[in-house]
Structure 1
């Protein structure tokens, strides 16, 4: 044995002694991939205890060298180094020792090089498959913010906020950012960004809390962030908090801009406090801000919603005096306000004035005015405006058609509504299928099923196919008009299109057939119902029993009554008494007693009306007997 072999043998013996000593202290046994005792630090993450045995492992297998190896790979600035390192970490089982604290240590070493910090953080998340904790996120956010890489910092800040929103991280993001700022370089603008990140995902309350904490710690958010916060609070109707934020702006010296005043004007208009609005506008002008088009539109819209058209028109005139030209929104608000007040003529005058001043009306303005005319029953004017709209190259939408059809319907003039829709179809305008459904249903309600059916055929080329609801309305309308054969044809058409008739459809046809003395046909339809698993209801049962009793078909009526009771557990006393009354009228007491006995066995019990019918039958039978005697 040479000297080198002796040295190796001696080293191996020393390693074995260390392993034995380690085992006596209940440490983990030494192996290529798992040789460390694991402790838990204050935040619950696992971290390895420094162990002298690690020094006997190769450098790339020593968990204590992981941070240095990663920093070295990052320093080389080559992604290939990270890929090789990733393979080494996985192959040697070091991934379980790569905890949150190691991630933080690498980030802190890279804080002067934001590119390396960003590359490392993305590598950990996307390639290594390790989930960074809140502190890791906060450190990389601080590093990126300090180096003015605001877009990436905002991206990670939004991710952290999303983790909190989804309940994956139960932490105070503000406090986490604040505590981690003591470990690295940082910029106060990160807290301004945090407010925006909360508002971006509609976490307005969290944004408000972040604002208050930012101010409390002596940091000033930007006016843009404050405006975003005011807008979010306004949408949630937190007007009191809006004024708290505004007061805080004055205290800390964040100067409002015109956007700030417009948001607060909107808040005052929502609170419906006109006096406060006027006072606030005076203050706005005292601070050097002139009301702009947004301010005026906010006020005009508010006045119009409240029906204060005199004030709205006065403000409209003031706009011209002050050199602020009303825009499309201004005119739309005024036209809508006049239409709601029933003053369509003034609304139309404004409409013409708007066009004279070079503003082209849009679909909303046309629809507003057409709706006003329809509301006042001025259908000729509404139709004329529709033609003007089409002449300007605008397509009537679902709302346009809907208000016109409803307007004609209010005047009991559905024929004009049908003609209007078919005219639009002829000019190749796309009419919503909902309009067809509405119009067909309206014709059915007016008991004009043949007109409704004709309309269906007329618009079938528009790829219109009636659904269950329209078929149901049409069938019921035919039945109300005593055309059961037309209804039966439509039901067959439904079945051929794989549309399943419902209980209402079957009920309408059965009642119509029974009313017209075709109870046996109704029986066949009732059997079809049961085959299609459509449950019977009491109305269907009563229609069938009444129909057979009117046709003096006692046997069929009795059979159906037993069938309903035994198969569907329908024990209807009305049906039972209908048959009792039929038998009482025949004065056949033996037959009546036999029927009553049979029905009692099925589960029917007589009531007071049953007894009355039986007594009437007995009296009639006695009278017949005396006459015959």
Structure 2
């Protein structure tokens, strides 16, 4: 409700009124000119004064009748002059409405709402609706919702749909619902898409083929593949007009292929053809990728051949999918043959195509061919980037040329955290811990956060070098930087302290590993038990054994005999009895 507060003029000491004021002997034209003059002064004041509300009352109301000061025509004129600043217009409108309920002009408030929507101020537009009680047109409300969706404010759009429905009985048109569902999917939130769909249906808006397709894609994203298949099958039976586009079918095919549900994938492909939605290049790409991931090279080749047989001309991504799969399966010659075929059919490889081959030949050890392809990529107009650099560094480290990788790291500006991770791991694998730690510190100073793989390599390297304390310090640093250590990193530190005879630190890190939710491997338990037995610390031995049994870890045979000898001495009868008990319990 609008405020009923009475604002009193300092001159007349009477309530402000919005009754039209016509000067004695004046005319409507004279009144219009006076209102225009007042509006001009108001605009100047609200632009120049940070806290103009009090200033307006003191300055203008002492010189003009309040009936003109709060006249709806004056409000409209101020808003017209302030059209380029919708937020300030909203502030002025709210002040006028709160100062004089009869000054509220629904048309003017709706105009402010439209200006705020056009300016992309969704939150302020919602405030205008709630505070001024204006009723914008259905077209304006639809545009408002579209602006929210375009800005990625999907939750706000959902709340606005609920509010507008309850207050104005407004139901968005179908294109707005479809845009909301599609945007939710792009955001990666299928459950939000479900929410929009259910509200659309409950509002009595009949969906179309696009709506069903978006629903099917949301079901796929949520892992509900059987429901998606059932939905698409039902839509196909209803006729071509109700059948979603190829994208929905392709999404289902891709998800089924990833789960290696090939018979169901084949059924969907047949459904697509029968429904008049034949597979397109994107569908075939998804199938080819999935078949290679499943190791079904022959089937991938067959699909590629079928694609051509159906009259499709494979594009660059499709060729790249084939080349990538063949490289990963070791079919180098066939991959190169396809690469050369691309040029013959007039297709220019993209940067990813080159990177696939360069990566393959670096890892294979064929540096000459890798370098030639890399140079060909540069000659084709693709500048080197961090992906290209990382590909080369990984190949160098894999084949023992870590020094060359380090040199390349320092002279190349296009590096990222993966670049540092590769070099750190390469140096650590070679036992060059001083250099590895130097690269690590350089990464941190450059603002990069090495991954847990790089930390793990440093931890293992320090432990192998007999420096478990340095490894433990790195583990502490990981935790401080919010990087979760790998379970095997804890195992390395536990065994590392045992190897240097510091079993107390080993026990401490065993406790930390378990507290962090990890299950140390049997070798770590065995090593602790051996050290504790050697030190005659029977009570600690029993604590470790109890933890080991709780985690369903088995004692090694040699460790088991050592444990029983420690507990029972050389009494063979007791030794055999304890061995049987421990082996049974474990």
TM-score band (shorter)? 0.5 to 0.7
Which of 304, 308, 317 matches 2:261? 308
* Structure 1 position 448, deviation (Å): 4.0
Q: Flag structure 2 segments of 5+ consecutive residues without an equivalent.
A: 23-27, 442-461, 468-586
- Answer yes or no: is 1:206 the counterpart of 2:156: yes
- Cα deviation digits, residues 63-90 of structure 1 (max 9, x gap): 999x989x98995699999667756899
* Structure 1 position 416, deviation (Å): 3.6
In 2 relative to 1, CA 52–429 (structure 1 residues): closer, same or farther, beyond 3 Å? closer
- Answer yes or no: is 1:292 the counterpart of 2:245: yes
Task: Indicate the residue corresponding to 1:154 in structure 2.
Answer: 117
Task: Indicate the residue corresponding to 1:347 in structure 2.
Answer: 300
Which of 344, 352, 356 matches 1:399? 352
Which of 253, 260, 278 matches 1:325? 278
Q: Which SS does the other structure have where 1:264 is aligned?
A: helix
- Cα deviation digits, residues 104-129 of structure 1 (max 9, x gap): 98684379x7xx57523426669x89
- Cα deviation digits, residues 302-325 of structure 1 (max 9, x gap): 322332233223322333333333
CA distance in structure 2 between the aligned counterparts of 1:240 and 1:364, rounded to whole angstroms: 31
Task: Indicate the residue corresponding to 1:276 in structure 2.
Answer: 227
In 2 relative to 1, CA 373–446 (structure 1 residues): closer, same or farther, beyond 3 Å? same
Which of 210, 215, 234 matches 1:264? 215
Q: Does the 8 Å contact 1:377/1:407 carry over to 2?
A: no
Structure of greater relative contact order (alpha carbons < 8 Å, 6+ residues apart): 2
Q: Flag structure 1 segments of 5+ consecutive residues without an equivalent.
A: 1-40, 56-62, 165-172, 457-462, 483-500, 508-536, 543-629
The number of residues matched between the two structures is 424
TM-score (norm 1): 0.51
Task: Indicate the residue corresponding to 2:56 in structure 1.
Answer: 98
Q: Which SS does the other structure have where 2:371 is aligned?
A: helix
In 2 relative to 1, CA 262–445 (structure 1 residues): closer, same or farther, beyond 3 Å? closer
In 2 relative to 1, CA 251–348 (structure 1 residues): closer, same or farther, beyond 3 Å? same
Q: Which SS does the other structure have where 2:172 is aligned?
A: coil
* Structure 1 position 350, deviation (Å): 3.0
In 2 relative to 1, CA 43–439 (structure 1 residues): closer, same or farther, beyond 3 Å? farther
CA distance in structure 2 between the aligned counterparts of 1:91 and 1:411, rounded to whole angstroms: 71
Aligned residue runs from structure 1 range 96-175, under 5 A: 96-98=54-56, 108-109=72-73, 116=77, 118-122=79-83, 131-132=91-92, 143=107, 152=115, 154-155=117-118, 158-161=120-123, 173=126
* Structure 1 position 231, deviation (Å): 3.1
* Structure 1 position 369, deviation (Å): 1.3
In 2 relative to 1, CA 142–260 (structure 1 residues): closer, same or farther, beyond 3 Å? farther
In 2 relative to 1, CA 502–220 (structure 1 residues): closer, same or farther, beyond 3 Å? closer
In 2 relative to 1, CA 77–441 (structure 1 residues): closer, same or farther, beyond 3 Å? farther
CA distance in structure 2 between the aligned counterparts of 1:51 and 1:435, rounded to whole angstroms: 75
Q: Does the 8 Å contact 1:296/1:315 carry over to 2?
A: yes
Choose 1 or 2 for highest CA Rg.
Answer: 1
* Structure 1 position 373, deviation (Å): 0.7
In 2 relative to 1, CA 160–431 (structure 1 residues): closer, same or farther, beyond 3 Å? closer
- Answer yes or no: is 1:365 the counterpart of 2:315: no
Task: Indicate the residue corresponding to 2:581 in structure 1.
Answer: none
* Structure 1 position 251, deviation (Å): 3.8
Q: Which SS does the other structure have where 2:242 is aligned?
A: coil
Task: Indicate the residue corresponding to 2:340 in structure 1.
Answer: 387
Q: Does the 8 Å contact 1:269/1:302 carry over to 2?
A: yes
Q: Does the 8 Å contact 1:437/1:466 carry over to 2?
A: no
* Structure 1 position 261, deviation (Å): 0.9
TM-score (norm 2): 0.55
Task: Indicate the residue corresponding to 1:623 in structure 2.
Answer: none
CA distance in structure 2 between the aligned counterparts of 1:380 and 1:398, rounded to whole angstroms: 20
* Structure 1 position 136, deviation (Å): 7.8
In 2 relative to 1, CA 228–365 (structure 1 residues): closer, same or farther, beyond 3 Å? same
* Structure 1 position 504, deviation (Å): 3.6
* Structure 1 position 264, deviation (Å): 0.7
Q: Does the 8 Å contact 1:192/1:225 carry over to 2?
A: yes
CA distance in structure 2 between the aligned counterparts of 1:436 and 1:226, rounded to whole angstroms: 45
CA distance in structure 2 between the aligned counterparts of 1:203 and 1:506, rounded to whole angstroms: 39
- Answer yes or no: is 1:49 the counterpart of 2:14: no
In 2 relative to 1, CA 50–150 (structure 1 residues): closer, same or farther, beyond 3 Å? closer
Aligned residue runs from structure 1 range 227-266, under 5 A: 227-234=178-185, 239=190, 242-266=193-217
